[in-house]
Structures are given as C-alpha cells and as structure tokens.
Amino acid sequence: MPGTTQKIVSPSNIARLACILSVAIVALCIFATILAESERLWWRAYLVAQFRVEIFALSALTAIGLAAFRGSTPLAICASLCALINYSHLLPYYVWHSQSLMDSDKTMKLMQINLNVKNKQYEAVTSYVKKNNPDVVLFEELTPEWKNYFEANLKTHPFAITETRLDTYGIGMYCKAAPKNSRIVYLGESGHPSIVAELQGLEKPVCILHTHVQGPVKKEFFRWHEGQFLSMENEVKQLPRPLVVSGDMNSNAWTYLLSDFIRNSGLVDTQQGRGIRMTWPTPFYWRYGLFPLLAIDHFFVSDDITVKKRELGIPNSSDHFPVIIEFSL
C-alpha cells in the first residue's frame, strides 16, 4: 500500500542469525565445560560443576540440532565433545554396582526428609511418614515448632535425637527402636550439628552419620562447605561398619569434594546403577523454576550393605524430594 514500508526478513538474514546463535550456544557450552573441569581451582567453578547434567543436555541437544540441520561441522564437533566430557562424570550412575548375593532377607527402611523451615504442612508430613512406615526417619531443617509437633503426633517413632535451630540447619532422627551410642557432633567450622548413632533391628547394629552440609553459595560458605566434608571424612574413618551416611550435602556426587569423600571413605553411592534422581528443587516450588535441577540429598553405604530399593517420595510442600532406601546386610 502507498505510504507503508514492508520489512522482509530474507533467508540470508535468518541463516546469519542462526549462525550467530549457534556460535553463542556452543561458546557457552565450551566455557561452562572448561569451568566445570576447573572446579578444584576456584570455588565459583565448583558451583558451575554442579550443573553438569544441564551442561550435558545443552551440549548434546546443540550437537544434534547442528547435525540435523546441517550446521557447521566444527561447531557440532565442539558441542559433541562438551557433551562427552560432561557425560563421562555422569556415566557411573548408570553402571550397575555389583552387590552380594548372600544378603539377608531382613531389611531396614530409612526415609530422609528436608522439611524446609518455611513449610507448615505438619500433618501432611507426619501422615506421610506413618503411611510409608520407615524404621528410621531423618530430618533436616528441623525447627522447634516441627519438633514440638512430632513429639505430640509422631508416636510411631518415639526415640528421637534432635538439635533444633531457627535457621536451615536443625537436624533430627526419629526411630522405632531405641538407637545406641547416639551423639550430636559438629563437623568443621560451620557449627552445624550432625547425628551419629547405632541403629538396631538387623543382625548387627548399623552405624549412621546424618548431616546437613553448608551450602557453598558464597566464598566463606564454600570454605565451611569444604571443611565440613574433610572433617566428615575423618569422622567416618573412625566409625564402625556397617555404615550409612545420609543428608542434604548441598552438592552433587560428581563434584570433586563429594566424590573425593566417597572414594576416600570407601562408601558406595546408592544412586549408582539406578541413575541420577534430581531432588532439589521440587517442581513448581514457589521461588524456583519448573523442574528439579540438582541431586543433593544422599545416602551412602559401606560395601557390606545391600541396597534393595531407593526411591524419591512426595515433597509435601518442601523444596526437596524425600529419599527412601531399604537395605539388608
């Protein structure tokens, strides 16, 4: 029409934009992969290494897209290499860990729940524990209000070891059978409490260390985070077997601090052979995104324990999925 100007996007402009976008995404994959591989050198790189699943997914999808639409071969190769490097850290969780064929039929069930200090769904959580009927339930972010509610309403688990706090590092263990030699320990400089106890009910006592590691989101917090893992490693070496280590570690098992801890303490990650199950944050949790990003809630066991089942539970308004394991000796 007279007096109007039509802007036509030519195929060459679209191709140019696609090329720029491809270069930018591949550059991001390369940069993130280099940072993740440098996690021992800088605490911010350690944070990037937490997201290897996301870096792998972005790299793999980019490589597939470039190949499918006949994009730049060098870019496709770079994206593929980034995907392979990151997947090499994830692959062990999809390789089955051999376990004893002579395990007992007698089992013990543990449930780990990060309550979330802002969560007020007291009845929902208590009903969920009763429904699943674990032998031991392990809590993080245990506040005085949660403790008071459990004392009045969680009669199925009358034996409790707790240290409540108003921040996110209160901790508790509630058992059907009375544990032995229970104590609160403080690992590293963070001052956060952990629980050590001997669980009863199988052929021999099972020692457990339940903890909540400081989140490494600031430089000072990373120092506490690192120190807690080193202190926990020394503590675990002195504990009797069979042994379970549980808790919100605020780290994925493929990052160097946690993988070093697992290797040096001789423990087995219960995710191994079962695949990576993201535990935080839960879908549609109000202050986060729409899908879980990190696998930071863990159970590690000594090799004289056979894990028969590991599954995620229902969050009941928490930002973490509960983790449930069942094992024998």
Instruction: Give per-residue pLDDT as tens, 30-87.
Output: 999 999 999 999 999 999 999 999 999 999 999 999 988 876 789 999 999 999 999 9
| 298 part of a folded domain | yes
Distance (Å, whole) CA 313 – CA 324:
7
Burial 93-124 (b: 16+ CB within 10 A, else e): beeeeebeeebeeebbbbbbbbbbbebeebee
pLDDT score, position 285: 59
| 313 part of a folded domain | yes
Instruction: Give per-residue pLDDT as tens, 186-195.
Output: 999 999 999 9
Q: Do 80 and 134 fall within a single domain?
A: no
Check pLDDT > 80 for residue 181. yes
Check pLDDT > 60 for residue 210. yes
pLDDT score, position 247: 97
Q: Do 194 and 145 fall within a single domain?
A: yes
pLDDT score, position 3: 52
Average pLDDT rounded to a whole number, residues 21-29? 92
Q: Do 181 and 139 fall within a single domain?
A: yes
Distance (Å, whole) CA 48 – CA 71:
28
Check pLDDT > 70 for residue 286. no
Under the banding of pLDDT at 50, 70 and 90, the label for residue 293 is confident
Average pLDDT rounded to a whole number, residues 160-180? 97
CA 191 distance to own-chain centroid: 21
Which position has the token pair 């109000």?
Answer: 286
Check pLDDT > 90 for residue 97. no
pLDDT score, position 105: 85
User: Cα-atom radius of gyration of the chain, to the nearest Å?
Assistant: 23
pLDDT > 90 fraction of the chain, expressed in percent and rounded = 83
| 4 part of a folded domain | no
- Are 149 and 126 a contacting pair, CB within 8 Å? yes
Domain span at 17? 11-93
Distance (Å, whole) CA 135 – CA 183:
19
CATH number at residue 173: 3.60.10.10
How are the residues of the chain apportioned to helix, strand and coil, as percentages rounded to the nearest 5? Answer: 40, 20, 40
Q: Do 69 and 129 fall within a single domain?
A: no
The amino acid at residue 304 is D
- Are 188 and 212 a contacting pair, CB within 8 Å? no
Instruction: Give per-residue pLDDT as tens, 221-268.
Output: 999 999 999 999 999 999 999 999 999 999 999 999 999 999 999 999
Average pLDDT rounded to a whole number, residues 288-297? 77
- Are 220 and 184 a contacting pair, CB within 8 Å? no
Check pLDDT > 90 for residue 10. no
Structurally, the chain folds into a number of domains equal to 2
Domain boundary residue among 93, 121, 155? 93
pLDDT score, position 16: 77
Q: Do 83 and 114 fall within a single domain?
A: no
| 1 part of a folded domain | no
Hey, is 78 helix, strand or coil?
Answer: helix
- Are 254 and 90 a contacting pair, CB within 8 Å? yes
Distance (Å, whole) CA 180 – CA 22:
59
Hey, is 117 helix, strand or coil?
Answer: coil
Under the banding of pLDDT at 50, 70 and 90, the label for residue 19 is confident
Burial of 130 per CB tally in 10 Å (0-12, 13-18, 19+): middle
Instruction: Give per-residue pLDDT as tens, 118-138.
Output: 999 999 999 999 999 999 999
Q: Do 187 and 61 fall within a single domain?
A: no
pLDDT > 70 fraction of the chain, expressed in percent and rounded = 91
Q: Do 34 and 54 fall within a single domain?
A: yes
pLDDT score, position 39: 98
Q: Do 214 and 318 fall within a single domain?
A: yes
Q: What is the largest CA-CA distance in the chain?
A: 91
Average pLDDT rounded to a whole number, residues 136-161? 98
